[in-house]
Chain A
Amino acid sequence: MKLPTLRQGRRFWWDTLEAYVYLLPTLAVLGLFTFYPFVNAFLYSVYDIRTRTVAGPVVHATTDSTTWATTLARGRIPEELADALLKRGVARDDLWVRLRQADRWVVKDEASGQEYIIVREGEDLRVHQATTGWAMESVGWDNFARVFRDPDFAKALLNTTIYVAVSVPTTLLLALLLATLLNRAVRGKALFRLASFLPYITPIVAITMVWAWIYDRNYGLLNYFLGTVAGWFGAEFNLINWLNDPRWTKPALIIMSVWRFMGYQALILLAGMQGIDREYYEAARVDGAGPLAVWRKITVPMVTPQMFFLLIISLIGSFKIFEEVLILLQGPGPQKSALTVVYYVFTKAFDSGHYGLASAASVILFAVIFVLSLFQLTVVQKRVHYER
């Protein structure tokens, strides 16, 4: 970088001052809510961070510990607890399971903010009033060691990798074909834009709910459709249990993701194709090149910048898959077949309260994405054709 000298003149330095005044709001917000947490993500990964909930006076005790444990594990409030707290003026609807661990649960009253901790004592479970504070303790590389030893994390990493490795290239390839078709079409582009853009902008939670219905084993649209197609060919079709069969949860996520992003990517590629200079095509026609050769030697190379952009964006985006899993499968899926890295981070932090451990897992995720991005920026980008 070329550093300016004092000889740049007064105007330059005044401009610098003025520029930073205008940049201040942006830099303040990004600094506090992007850069600072980014640095902290690394820092926290070598700490054991927990919210320490200190138990106060006992409010209630129960002998029915089995029912309580199963109910609380599902994130629901046991009837008996609701009744006991109702007597203390706590409305049932305000109660919420904030923390779920093997033998320890924290229930929060949303209205007053008061927390209650439920702990095992012998055969019984006791409900205490509780207060919560943060506790940080340096543990070195322990978090990383624990994450790497956790079979769940290995599974999450594998699941996520499979999902990314299949959905990213499939979406891009289909988008390329779609853009080629669109580039050929003269009319009807506006309507098609609408159809291909909608999946991308509709709220992901709403759209995933729709897919949960489409994937329904007995009444779902997809099984009906596949059954019909199989019928045309006289093939036998066994109803696929998309959301409850561990073999089919990942394909379900992949199909949905291809559907969501294919149109959007095709529109970006189409914009690239429409920017290609006509002269190239005319030159190729003069040389007697067939349509396929023209496509392979001109159209595709000329949209490689767009393809490269989409590859990076969708790779980063796909590694972050979380909402889809949460809504579609209401959990990590049968046999954790759809447990993803972000899902792992989410449950470790916000269900069981191991914030340091979760930080370590997210640092690993970042490292994976970073290395892949670096690989693309150095190796893959060499094959990208930029017009000078």
Chain B
Amino acid sequence: MQRYRVRADVYLLRRGAGLLVVYALLLVVAVIMAMPLLWMLSTSLKDLVQALRVPTPANWVPNPAFWDNFPTAWNAAPFAIYFWNSFFLAVTTTVGDVITSIPAAYVLAKMKFLGRGFLLGLLLGTLMIPGQMLLVPSFILINRLGWYNTYWALIIPWTAGVFGIFLLRQFFKTIPDELWDSARIDGCHRLRYIFQIAVPLVRPGIATVALFKFVGSWNAFLWVIIMTDKVGLRTVPVGLRFFMMDIGTDYPRLMAAATMAIVPVLILFVFAQRQFIQGIARTGIK
């Protein structure tokens, strides 16, 4: 009996020590992960003299905090326009993507029709196409459509997406068929059924799709610099690049601008963490 107790103690002790190691390692990783963003924040609150000190731990906290970088960075470039554009494009493309994805996802999840298997394969195949391969043909197409330097070029091509369709399809699949059968008997049209009955049931899925689309659109860069060359059409990331080209290595101000670009995404993430995590967890499952 005695021997077993000792072994149990040793087991618990080893388990405890193991957990301690786990947490220590996790802490180190978490610090490394968070460091660049903390460093950005720290630098954004320093003046140039403070920023160019050796980054000893004591110099991490700006002392005194120098808030001027934010207004001067904001006024050094038309950031109000950039933010408005990013916001406007993110909202319009997100709404467009969700509206086109809902019926498409429902159809692919619930209906049997000619060419369904082929379409699923085709849509899955588009995930294999590297978007960068399409830059030149898209650029020529946008020019031929006369959309160069217009909002159309930045909105319409992004109002449909395969990611949203596949994610929503998984959600729609979980709705029992009997629901549609009884709705149909009551004389409900399919389109009304989709948007009024099925959609409320898959709201978490829609929130996830919308969030990813919104963030993706907010971060859009390459497409925008290729399809436009007007200041008035710049998004925040594009504006940031031009800001960086203008002011060079004035890092405190650059970090203030970078912070401003990141904060909206950060707020969104904090409020909708669950949807993000759900999206992540679902993408990995085959």
Which residues in A have some Cβ–Cβ distance to B below 8 Å?
1, 4, 12-13, 15-16, 18-20, 22-23, 25-26, 28-30, 32-38, 40-41, 44, 49, 93, 96, 98, 108, 110, 134, 178, 181-182, 184-186, 188, 190-199, 201-207, 209-211, 213-214, 216, 218-221, 224, 259, 262-264, 267-269, 271-272, 275, 305-306, 309-310, 316, 319-320, 322-323, 326-327, 330, 342, 345-346, 349-350, 355, 358-359, 362-363, 365-366, 369-370, 373, 386
Q: In the complex, A8 Cα to B118 Cα: how many Å? A: 18
Most chain B Cβ neighbours within 10 Å, of A20, A221, A262, A359:
A221
Most chain A Cβ neighbours within 10 Å, of B136, B165, B222:
B136
Which residues of chain B from 236 to 286 have any CB-CB distance to chain A below 8 Å in the complex? 236-238, 240-241, 244-245, 249, 251, 254-255, 257-258, 261-262, 265-266, 269-270, 273, 276-277, 280-281, 283-286
Q: List 24 A-B contacts (CB under 8 A).
A: A19-B113, A22-B104, A22-B106, A23-B104, A37-B138, A44-B137, A49-B140, A96-B229, A185-B22, A185-B23, A198-B269, A206-B237, A206-B258, A206-B261, A207-B262, A209-B254, A210-B40, A268-B284, A269-B284, A271-B284, A306-B284, A320-B132, A355-B136, A363-B133
Q: In the complex, A13 Cα to B25 Cα: how many Å? A: 60
Question: Given A32-B157, A365-B132, 12 other A-B contacts at CB below 8 A?
Answer: A12-B113, A25-B100, A40-B137, A198-B266, A210-B40, A219-B55, A259-B36, A268-B280, A309-B286, A346-B135, A359-B137, A366-B129
CB contact between A221 and one of B55, B133, B244, B273 (< 8 Å): that residue: B55
A37-B132 in contact (CB<8A): no
Q: In the complex, A182 Cα to B280 Cα: how many Å? A: 16
Contacts of A110 in B (CB 8 A): 229-231
With an 8 A cutoff between CB atoms, is B65 at the interface? no
Minimum CB–CB distance from B99 to chain A (whole Å) comes to 8
Q: In the complex, A34 Cα to B131 Cα: how many Å? A: 8
Contacts of A203 in B (CB 8 A): 218-219, 221, 236-237, 240, 261-262, 265
In the complex, which residue of chain B has the Cβ closest to the Cβ of A271? B281
CB contact between B280 and one of A36, A267, A346, A366 (< 8 Å): that residue: A267
Minimum CB–CB distance from A239 to chain B (whole Å) comes to 12
CB contact between A213 and one of B43, B99, B108 (< 8 Å): that residue: B43
Contacts of A224 in B (CB 8 A): 54-56
Contacts of B273 in A (CB 8 A): 190, 193-194
Top 9 nearest A-B pairs by Cβ distance? A37-B137, A29-B160, A22-B103, A268-B284, A271-B281, A40-B137, A205-B237, A16-B113, A33-B157
CB contact between A316 and one of B114, B130, B249 (< 8 Å): that residue: B130
B251-A41 in contact (CB<8A): no
Contacts of B197 in A (CB 8 A): none
B136-A358 in contact (CB<8A): yes
B265-A202 in contact (CB<8A): yes
Contacts of A264 in B (CB 8 A): 280
A204-B219 in contact (CB<8A): yes
Binds A, one of B2-10, B26-34, B171-179, B200-208: B26-34
Q: In the complex, A28 Cα to B218 Cα: how many Å? A: 24
Contacts of B251 in A (CB 8 A): 213, 216
CB contact between A29 and one of B156, B221, B270, B276 (< 8 Å): that residue: B156
Minimum CB–CB distance from A8 to chain B (whole Å) comes to 9
Interface of B is mostly: helix
With an 8 A cutoff between CB atoms, is B185 at the interface? no
Q: In the complex, A94 Cα to B149 Cα: how many Å? A: 14
Minimum CB–CB distance from A365 to chain B (whole Å) comes to 6
A373-B131 in contact (CB<8A): no
Scan B152-170; emit 1 where CB is below 8 A from any A CB, else 0. 0000110110100100000
CB contact between B114 and one of A4, A370, A386 (< 8 Å): that residue: A4
Q: In the complex, A327 Cα to B229 Cα: how many Å? A: 18
Contacts of A195 in B (CB 8 A): 30, 33-34
With an 8 A cutoff between CB atoms, is B67 at the interface? no
CB-CB under 8 A for A40 and B190, given A26-B104, A203-B219, A203-B236: no
CB-CB under 8 A for A185 and B26, given A268-B284, A345-B132: yes
CB contact between A1 and one of B117, B157, B269 (< 8 Å): that residue: B117
Minimum CB–CB distance from A96 to chain B (whole Å) comes to 6
In the complex, which residue of chain A has the Cβ closest to the Cβ of B123? A30
